[in-house]
Amino acid sequence: IDPETFEYTINQLNNYFEEAETGSCSTYCEGCLACLTGYLIYICTETHYEKCLRKVAKFICEQNDRVYRPRGLLLTDPTTRGLRLIEISILDRPPS
């Protein structure tokens, strides 16, 4: 994989995680509403953080389909590894 493609992937992941961690008026209101409802609101809705993690999973799937899998690699979603690492697996045989 060329360095620019890998750098794009990493930068985009960092942007998604930065968005997830950024506090805004809506995230603070979400937290206040959660406290007022005894956190029962989370039965009905997703948090801002969960929505951003869904974006990360979708981006990883797209990158695997477009960039990594055709080259015989597989990028693993960092949320499945506790956000500690980015795992790239080498597949035995590239798909035909």
As to burial, measured by CB atoms within 10 angstroms (0-12 exposed, 13-18 middle, 19+ buried), residue 15 is: middle
**Can you state the angle between helices 48-63 and 3-21, rounded to 10 degrees?**
170
Mean of pLDDT over the chain: 90
The predicted structure's pLDDT at residue 13: 94
Two tokens at 25? 């008026």
What is the pTM assigned to this prediction? 0.84
Whether the CB-CB separation of 32 and 49 falls below 8 Å is answered with no
Tens-digit pLDDT profile for residues 69-86: 999 999 999 988 888 888
What is the distance between the alpha carbons of residues 40 and 4, in angstroms, rounded to a whole number? 44
Confidence of residue 9 (pLDDT cuts 50, 70, 90): very high
The predicted structure's pLDDT at residue 47: 92
Which residues have a Cβ under 8 Å from the Cβ of 83 and sit 6 or more positions away?
Answer: 17
